[in-house]
Amino acid sequence: MTDMIWNTIYNCDCIEGMRRLPSGSVDLVFADPPFNIGYDYDVYRDKLTDEDYWNWSKRWMAEVNRILKPDGTFWLAIGDEHAAELKVAATREIGFICRSWVIWYYTFGVNCKHKFTRSHAHLFHFVKNADQFTFNEEAIRIPSARQLVYNDKRANPKGRLPDDTWILRPQELEQEFGADKDTWFVSRVCGTFKERTGWHGCQMPEAILERIITVSSSSNEKILDPFLGSGTTVVVAKKLGRQFLGFELSKEYWEQCQKRLDFATKNVPKTAKTKKSTSEFPNLFE
């Protein structure tokens, strides 16, 4: 029996936290773990040996697999350094099925020394059952070029699904991130962006979580983020009318996430549960 309370975030290790959840009890897990590239976290040591990092990753992903419902979904955000190894571990050792390998490309990338600027991340879309999982495609369909450009009568009137590459030039944010586009125009949250909280260097954009939660879960279902970070997952889950649970190892980050979540809770419109996307909400952090 779990002692975890939903719609709550906890200051704890993610493996310990997940072990306190019953098997088959979560609908969707989104994980944006440390990339093991030497990032300066306040508590976690982000520079393990490759073998230690892979073994640790397999332990927490095995817990994700256990707590997910049979038709549950797991999204993993990861960098280049360990993307291949974690995909192989997730599919061949743990038993997930990879439905999509999404490339999230952003300009205004991270400056690097002696290598090309880092300007993308990998988003793996895993499921437990290839024939039974949530994919709300009607909620994310967009008009096709056949409809918009060629006025082709053969075009599906419902539109088409977006591509598996998501891209943004920052100067095009407001003009280009819309339902009529066939790619995901999403920038990383840079220092000058209004959405930025200012206390976490790896803040995940709300727009990424908007579409993932919209397509991979339904109203009031249970969403878990084992690496809470800046708290974006639980904030968006709250806006979209889902139940949520988050784990964060750092007490400082956890306290900041709680403040952000409390603010979002007070400001979510009463119609939030009927909305399909948080793009329909005002930006609560402007």
Instruction: Among 10-24, 96-110, 231-245, name the one with the lowest average pLDDT.
Output: 96-110
C-alpha–C-alpha distance, residues 273 and 241, integer Å? 4
C-alpha–C-alpha distance, residues 127 and 71, integer Å? 7
C-alpha–C-alpha distance, residues 161 and 258, integer Å? 35
C-alpha–C-alpha distance, residues 80 and 248, integer Å? 23
Residues 6+ apart with CB under 8 A from 93: 58
- Whether the per-residue pLDDT at 199 is higher than 50: the answer is no
CATH class of 8-280: alpha beta
| Interior/surface letters 158-187, b for 16+ CB within 10 angstroms, e for the rest | ebbebeeebbbeeeeeeeebeeebebbbbb
Start-to-end CA span in the chain (Å): 41
Joined tokens for residue 259: 């403040």
Handedness of CA 107, 211, 126, 65 (dihedral sign): positive
- pLDDT bucket at 106, cuts 50 / 70 / 90: confident
- Whether the per-residue pLDDT at 98 is higher than 90: the answer is yes
178: number of CA atoms within 13 Å, CB side? 7
C-alpha–C-alpha distance, residues 104 and 91, integer Å? 21
Rg of the chain (C-alpha set): 19
Q: How high is the pLDDT of residue 257?
A: 92
Provide the 3-class DSSP secondary structure of residue 264. Answer: helix
- Whether the per-residue pLDDT at 194 is higher than 80: the answer is no
Answer with the residue of higher pLDDT: 218 or 284: 218
Render pLDDT for 34-45 as a digit per residue (tens, 0 to 9): 999 876 777 778
Question: Is residue 98 classed exposed, middle or buried when 0-12, 13-18 and 19+ CB atoms within 10 A define those classes?
Answer: middle
DSSP letters, 64-112, are HHHHEEEEEEEEEEE-HHHHHHHHHIIIIII--EEEEEEEEEEEEEE--
Q: How high is the pLDDT of residue 171?
A: 43
C-alpha–C-alpha distance, residues 232 and 228, integer Å? 8
- Whether the per-residue pLDDT at 127 is higher than 80: the answer is yes
Provide the 3-class DSSP secondary structure of residue 172. Answer: helix
- Whether the per-residue pLDDT at 77 is higher than 90: the answer is yes
Average pLDDT of the residues in 23-46: 88
Question: For the chain, which residues make up each domain, given as ranges?
Answer: 8-280
C-alpha–C-alpha distance, residues 32 and 250, integer Å? 15
- Whether the per-residue pLDDT at 273 is higher than 50: the answer is no
Render pLDDT for 241-270 as a digit per residue (tens, 0 to 9): 999 999 999 999 999 999 999 888 777 655
The Cα-based distances of 202 to 182, 188, 227 in angstroms read: 26, 9, 12
C-alpha–C-alpha distance, residues 251 and 212, integer Å? 27
Joined tokens for residue 279: 């793009």
C-alpha–C-alpha distance, residues 134 and 218, integer Å? 8
